[in-house]
Amino acid sequence: MRIALIGQAAFGKDVLNALIKNGGNVVATFCPPDTAVHRIDPIKEASQSHNIPVYQYKRMRTKEAVSKFISLDVDLCVMAFVTDIVPVEIIEAPTFKTIQYHPSLLPEHRGPSSINWPIIKGKTKTGITIFWPDDGLDTGPILFQQETPIDQDDTLGTLYFDRLYPMGVSALVESVNLVRAGSAPRIDQNHSLATYEGWCRSKDAKIDWQMPVHDLYNLIRGCDPSPGANTTFKDDKVSFFRASVNPGNTNRDPGTVTDITSGSFTVAAKGGSISISRVQVNQMRKMSAPDFIEYSSLKNGDTFGS
């Protein structure tokens, strides 16, 4: 079975290596163009190490990209970490069509930031879906799903790298095996249960100090490490990372600094407080709480977001 892989970054590389280890006949990979000198996408490096041809297009919907893909006459297309819109001409071209990884339990959380939003919304579980893409956005029939809990202290980073990432790699390999065996299911999504959220960007991660403390905590951990739940201090934009939640009313106005320790600072919120051990100021590199305290001359009684 001739396989073409569309993907990028470390996830795409690991899927490629896993498919080859599983005996997959990957005949081509497609990834975005190199972004700068000496910055080659990991999937490109892995492809070259296996002597697999690599094709790089900024947009897969260009006439050149579509023509090249169709000319390869593949049996299956595997999409692993694809942020571009892949046209239906490519999706439908292979003998057994195309399968795609999505890090949520479809039909919930369709869209590009499907790991951030379940955490932000306080969900207690999520998972991964391998599905057959169509001309909609994450709307195609389901081939494979697997659940995982969202622990109360999970962040975007821990949830993805500890569970959704390795689950996705193994699920794509298993799904390819099912396609090869002719036993891959196509289960229609229940579109009445569908939810969609767009990119989780900095503007979506702005802290409202009137939100309940647990909602605030969910926002911070759902945006850690990116884009960072943010507020203001003096004239700076400050993003919070590595947070912990402390229930119990502080009797201080939300946004007020209530405690400073050797490793963190604590800020009052509605119904509790949040302790922060890492921050980012504007576009600077992330720094520890002690470095921020020194940089900003932070002290008890100071307020964020005012």
In tens, the pLDDT along 258-291 reads: 999 999 999 999 999 999 999 999 999 999 999 9
> How, if at all, do strands 257-260 and 236-247 pair?
unpaired
Tell me what pLDDT residue 36 has.
Answer: 73
Last residue of a domain, one of 136, 171, 193: 193
Is the per-residue pLDDT at 169 higher than 80?
A: yes
The length of the chain in residues reads 306
Total number of domains constituting the chain: 2
CATH code assigned at 267: 3.10.25.10
Residues 227 and 176 in one domain: no
d(CA 6, CA 31): 6
Q: Is the pLDDT of residue 196 over 70?
A: yes
- Residue 25 burial (CB count, 10 A): 14
- Say yes or no: 224 and 166 in one domain: no
Signed CA dihedral, 245, 247, 250, 252: sign only: positive
Q: Within this chain, do residues 185 and 207 fall inside the same structural domain, yes or no?
A: no
The enclosing domain of 7 has a CATH number of 3.40.50.170
Instruction: Using the 3D structure, point to which of 169, 193, 217 is the last residue of a domain.
Output: 193
- Model confidence over 124-166: pLDDT tens digits? 999 999 999 999 999 999 999 999 999 999 999 999 999 999 9
Domain that holds residue 123: 2-193
Whether 107 maps to a domain, the answer reads: yes
